Amino acid sequence: MYRPTLALLAVLALSSAVFAQTANPYNGTWTVLLEGFERAKLEGTAVVKDEVGTWHITARDRLDNCIGREAPIAVQVASAEELVFKVNRSQVLAGCPDFTMKFKKIDDKTMKAQLTGGRSATLTRN
C-alpha cells in the first residue's frame, strides 16, 4: 500500500540532510599579524563562528579612528583551501572602509594573505 505522507516525509528528510551546512573548519580564535606596513607590525585577533565573527587589531592611531576598533566579519568562503571574509568596519563607525581578506591555508594552524604593496597578513590558530 502506497502512503503519500510517508513518502513525502522521507523526501523532506533526505533533502534537509543534503542542504544542512557543516561547521566552518576555521571556527575558533586566531591571532592576526599584519606585516609590511609603514608602522610597526600590527597584531590582533580574529574570531570565526560559522558565517560570522569579529576582527580586532589592537593598535591605536590618533590620525585614523578606524584602527583599533573591533568589527564584525561576514564569512564568504570557507573551503578546504581558503577562508575569505569581509571586515565590516563601516558598521562600527561611519566613514570607516570595509575590506575583504582572502587567506590561503598553509597548514591546520596557519593561513596567509597577500595584501597590496607587498604587505602580508597571517592568521595563526590559538
- Over residues 69-107, the pLDDT tens digits come to 999 999 999 999 999 999 999 999 999 999 999 999 999
Q: Which of residues 49 and 19 earns the better pLDDT score? A: 49
> What whole-number distance in Å separates Cα of residue 18 and Cα of residue 15?
5
Q: What is the pLDDT of residue 38?
A: 67
In terms of phi and psi (left: phi > 0; alpha: psi -120 to 50; beta: otherwise), the region of 81 is: alpha
- Over residues 10-32, the pLDDT tens digits come to 544 544 444 445 789 999 999 99
Reported confidence tier of residue 1, pLDDT bands at 50, 70, 90: very low
* pTM: predicted TM-score of the whole model, two decimal places: 0.79
Asked whether 91 and 71 are in contact (CB, 8 A), the reply is: yes
How crowded is residue 83: how many other Cβ atoms within 10 Å of its Cβ?
23
Q: What percent of the chain has pLDDT over 90?
A: 65
Asked whether 51 and 24 are in contact (CB, 8 A), the reply is: yes
Averaged pLDDT for residues 50-67? 90
Q: Which of residues 61 and 105 earns the better pLDDT score? A: 105
Asked whether 31 and 111 are in contact (CB, 8 A), the reply is: no
| Fold (topology level) of 22-125 | Lipocalin (2.40.128)
Short-list 90, 96, 111, CA closest to 24: 111
Give the CA count within 13 Å in the CB-facing half-sphere of 67.
11
Whether pLDDT at 8 is above 90 = no
